[in-house]
Amino acid sequence: MTVGTLRNAQLVINQQAIFNNVKNAVQHTDDQTDLFIVLKANGYGHGAIQVARIAEKAGAKGFCVAILEEALELREAGFNEPILVLGITDPTLAPLAAENHIALTISATDWLEEAAAAMAVDPRLPKLAIHVALDTGMGRIGFQTPAELTAGLETLQTHQDVFIFEGIFTHFATADSKDDAYFKKQYANFQELMAVVAHKPRYVHVANTATSLWHHVCGANMVRYGISTYGLNPSGREITKLPYDLHPALTFTAGLSYVKKIAKGKSVGYGATYTADEDQWIGTVPVGYADGFPRKMQGFSVLVDGQPCPIVGRVCMDQFMIRLPKSYAAGTTVTIIGKSGDRQVTVDDLADYIGTINYEVICEFGERLRRKYV
């Protein structure tokens, strides 16, 4: 993917903000609990390798990713910390994971049998670390009943020559909600499943970011710290009380590529969905939905010189247009996310406008956008 290094459009990542967020999380975690930073989706759009380096310095003990390729990228970059792949990996890739000391998640007994067969091909391989997923109500992956889990653990024990039972975990579906009824139901299910685990592994983990912020769960010793690494509230605007401050790390800016005056009655953009009701100044911004800035942002206001400027017409693949209060020179900064003057646009503002969550907004920003680390 080509990166737009010559285009005046960039995501500016504040490294100190990420450091502070991780450091605060470490300090609010007890000494017996390890903080693992979630770096999937290119560090939630912030750059996985760069974020990993910062998190390492701030005291993180390990990393979580979604797919094996993301883990391999970290190993190739020289990271030696424990890495867990949270998604299900093809069992034939077990040798590759073992060779690179990457832990894999399992959700079924059959997976263990297939992976054991793959591992047996090369007896020189190190043992593969396994984390057992429990489905307590998320409905995604994991053993659902004590009987299923017992069978899985017995199979894991049978193949202890190739596997290490390193971890067991679940994921809460509503930890970011004020209503904790479903959370309590899941926690009860978790305790029921854990009752058949005779010997606990090195890591027992149930806490995603939201759980770590608002819930106390006994018997766990690892936190999977995700969205708040990047300074964002996992609950959006529903729960605003936090145990420590979060520092948003991402700013999104671009420079006006073109400015013109149009006459009353002239239309702007595909479908001619905007028509000027008077003579007005229009600025073009060199960013579009190919960069992860949604097509349906028409009407949303970005900032120029501290002034809100509405997006007029539909967002194009590579550009969008804004109404300006006056003429500005080409190159003038447009703040899409961040502060300008005494005003600010947040990731949550974008998310609210298009009816989604802050996670999706930042993960959609494409590789074509230059990441600038300050």
Extract the annotated binding site for substrate. 140, 317
CA distance 152 to 110: 9
Strands of the chain, DSSP E: 9-13, 34-38, 62-65, 83-88, 103-106, 128-134, 163-170, 203-207, 222-225, 250-255, 258-262, 267-268, 274-275, 280-285, 301-304, 307-312, 320-324, 333-340, 343-345, 370-373
Q: How many CB atoms lie within 10 A of CB 146?
A: 14
Instruction: For 280-315, write each residue's pLDDT tens digit.
Output: 999 999 999 999 999 999 999 999 999 999 999 999
Low-confidence ranges of the chain (pLDDT < 70): none
Name the pTM for this structure: 0.94
Q: How many CB atoms lie within 10 A of CB 89?
A: 21
The superfamily CATH assigns to domain 32-230 is Alanine racemase (3.20.20.10)
Residues designated as active site:
40, 270
Instruction: For 19-78, write each residue's pLDDT tens digit.
Output: 999 999 999 998 899 999 999 999 999 999 999 999 999 999 999 999 999 999 999 999
Would you mind telling me the total number of residues written for the chain in this entry? 374
Query: Residue ranges of the domains in the chain?
Result: 32-230, 250-373
**What is the model's pLDDT at position 216?**
78
CB 165 within 8 A of CB 204: no
Contacts of residue 86, defined as CB under 8 A and 6 or more positions apart, other chains included, come to: 38, 40, 64, 65, 66, 105, 224
CA distance 18 to 372: 14
The superfamily CATH assigns to domain 250-373 is Lyase, Ornithine Decarboxylase; Chain A, domain 1 (2.40.37.10)
CA distance 343 to 250: 16
